[in-house]
């Protein structure tokens, strides 16, 4: 039961349009007139000129805090300290998933609002209140929830279609494709779930998203590779960011963690060189065939997913990740997943072990 707990469904404001980054000042002004902008070097090169222009035109004073590394306690603490010293009353995150999460957590610690300006469509972190925390070496530590929704999300479709690599979009699609089978798995197998209308609704939204991806995602990736902003790209951006973020909120974020995302966590801890050169969704992609098989979906449906992921260009097996598919690899990955996800039922463990043969190549 929810026991009166606050239900947060993503962002207070969501604006998706060409030139949205230039609206940062207008949106920031709704919350404060002094902000700390958290941005990685590449993200700032892409979006910085538009963000700065908008802030100056709206009379919002700002300081840029360079982001690098992971959303760790060290990184978040550095952002909080800089914001306090500067007297910031708002945090603005400009970048990818780790920057978004660090910005959200820092704002929560400060008791101020956060505005996000995603420069990739690789995750729904700009929208969801759940934040993936790492240690300073890049090993996933835990998930933490913010106490309030994101103040505003500014999705600049021109930026994401013409100034962000199509690889980012493909990775976000693969990450989102894992939601449907993972939520289904969690409802049926993971302990501690309350089966209310919320996770059931999350499952239905995720299923609808998957159908949309099968219909249009490959075309959207081709369009972005050609630097075209089309109606299909606009739809897929909304699906990656807002609708997938909504499924995360409805399913309580970390509780949809299952095999595909468990593989991501295992690779992040055990195979750091491979993790460093891959995107989050690319690693998750390699675990999707196993997740589908463990759920008991038909071979026809599993093969449809594999063909789809290959068309996107995302991994479908362990060797695609640059990891040697040995028995030692299998044991290390399975041990991590069973412990991390909390899978201790022997029959389910045997089933997962058996189905991992699909990607051990």
Q: For residues 196 and 255, what is the distance between their CA atoms, to the nearest angstrom?
A: 13
- List binding-site positions: 97-101, 134, 175, 261, 280
* HSE-CB for 272 with a 13 A CA cutoff: 8
Q: 55-64: b or e for each residue (b if 16 or more CB lie within 10 Å)? A: beebebebeb
**Torsion-angle region of 98 (φ positive above 0: left; ψ -120 to 50: alpha; else: beta):** alpha
- Do residues 266 and 359 lie in contact, with contact meaning Cβ atoms separated by under 8 Å? no
Q: For residues 174 and 281, what is the distance between their CA atoms, to the nearest angstrom?
A: 6
The class of domain 14-162 in CATH terms is alpha beta
Q: What is residue 251's predicted lDDT score, i.e. its pLDDT?
A: 84
Q: What is residue 100's predicted lDDT score, i.e. its pLDDT?
A: 97
- List binding-site positions for NAD(+): 97-101, 134
Q: What is residue 254's predicted lDDT score, i.e. its pLDDT?
A: 46
Comma-separated ranges of CATH 3.40.50.1970 domains in the chain = 14-162
Q: For residues 55 and 315, what is the distance between their CA atoms, to the nearest angstrom?
A: 40
Phi (first) and psi of residue 131, to 5 degrees? -125, 130
DSSP calls for 261-318:
HHHHHHHHHH-HHHHHHS-HHHHHHHHHHHHHHHHT--HHHHHHHHHHHHHHT---SG
pTM: 0.94
- Whole-angstrom Cα Rg for the chain: 20
- List binding-site positions for glycerol: 175, 261, 280
Q: For residues 131 and 123, what is the distance between their CA atoms, to the nearest angstrom?
A: 11
Domain boundaries 166-358, corresponding CATH code: 1.20.1090.10
Q: What is residue 47's predicted lDDT score, i.e. its pLDDT?
A: 97
Among candidates 244, 255, 185, 245, which has minimal Cα distance to 212? 244
Comma-separated ranges of CATH 1.20.1090.10 domains in the chain = 166-358
> What is the number of residues in the chain?
361
Q: What is residue 1's predicted lDDT score, i.e. its pLDDT?
A: 40
CA 119 to chain centre: 13
pLDDT (tens, 9 = 90+) of the chain, 361 residues, equals: 455 567 777 789 999 999 999 999 999 999 999 999 999 999 999 999 999 999 999 999 999 999 999 999 999 999 999 999 999 999 999 999 999 999 999 999 999 999 999 999 999 999 999 999 999 999 999 889 999 999 999 999 999 999 999 999 999 999 999 999 999 998 888 766 667 888 899 999 999 999 999 999 999 999 999 999 999 999 999 999 999 999 998 887 444 568 999 999 999 999 999 999 999 999 999 999 999 999 999 999 999 999 999 999 999 999 999 999 999 999 999 999 999 888 889 999 999 999 999 999 9
Q: What is residue 197's predicted lDDT score, i.e. its pLDDT?
A: 87
CA 18 to chain centre: 22
**Residue that the structure tokens 């075309």 belong to:** 219
**What's the DSSP call for residue 239?**
I
**What's the DSSP call for residue 46?**
H
Strands 90-95 and 61-66: what pairing?
Answer: unpaired
**Residue that the structure tokens 């026809």 belong to:** 300
Q: What is residue 341's predicted lDDT score, i.e. its pLDDT?
A: 85
């Amino acid at each position: 039961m929810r026991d009166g707990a606050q239900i947060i469904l993503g962002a207070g404001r969501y604006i998706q349009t060409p030139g949205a980054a230039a609206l940062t000042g207008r949106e920031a002004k709704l919350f404060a007139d002094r902000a700390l902008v958290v941005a990685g070097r590449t993200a700032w090169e892409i979006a910085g000129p538009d963000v700065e222009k908008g802030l100056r035109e709206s009379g919002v004073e700002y300081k840029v805090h360079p982001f690098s590394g992971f959303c760790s306690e060290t990184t978040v603490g550095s952002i909080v300290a800089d914001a306090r010293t500067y007297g910031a009353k708002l945090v603005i995150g400009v970048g990818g998933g780790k920057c978004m999460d660090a910005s959200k957590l820092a704002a929560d610690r400060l008791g101020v609002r956060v505005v996000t300006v995603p420069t990739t469509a690789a995750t729904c972190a700009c929208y969801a209140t759940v934040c993936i925390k790492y240690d300073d070496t890049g090993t996933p530590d835990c998930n933490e929830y913010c106490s309030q929704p994101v103040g505003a999300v500014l999705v600049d479709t021109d930026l994401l279609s013409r100034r962000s690599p199509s690889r980012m979009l493909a990775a976000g699609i693969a990450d989102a494709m894992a939601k449907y089978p993972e939520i289904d798995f969690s409802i049926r197998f993971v302990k501690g779930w309350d089966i209310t209308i919320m996770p059931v609704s999350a499952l239905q939204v995720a299923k609808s998203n998957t159908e949309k991806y099968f219909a249009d995602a490959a075309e959207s990736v081709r369009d972005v590779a050609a630097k075209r902003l089309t109606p299909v790209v606009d739809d897929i951006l909304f699906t990656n960011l807002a609708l997938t973020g909504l499924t995360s909120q409805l399913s309580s974020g970390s509780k949809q963690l299952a095999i595909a995302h468990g593989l991501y966590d295992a690779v992040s801890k055990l195979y750091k060189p491979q993790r460093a050169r891959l995107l989050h969704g690319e690693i998750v992609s390699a675990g999707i065939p196993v997740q589908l098989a463990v759920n008991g979906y038909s071979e026809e449906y599993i093969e449809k997913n594999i063909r789809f992921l290959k068309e996107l260009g995302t991994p479908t097996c362990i060797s695609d990740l640059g990891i040697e598919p040995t028995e030692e690899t299998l044991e290390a990955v399975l041990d991590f997943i069973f412990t991390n996800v909390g899978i201790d039922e022997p029959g389910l463990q045997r089933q997962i072990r058996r189905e991992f043969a699909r990607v051990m190549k």
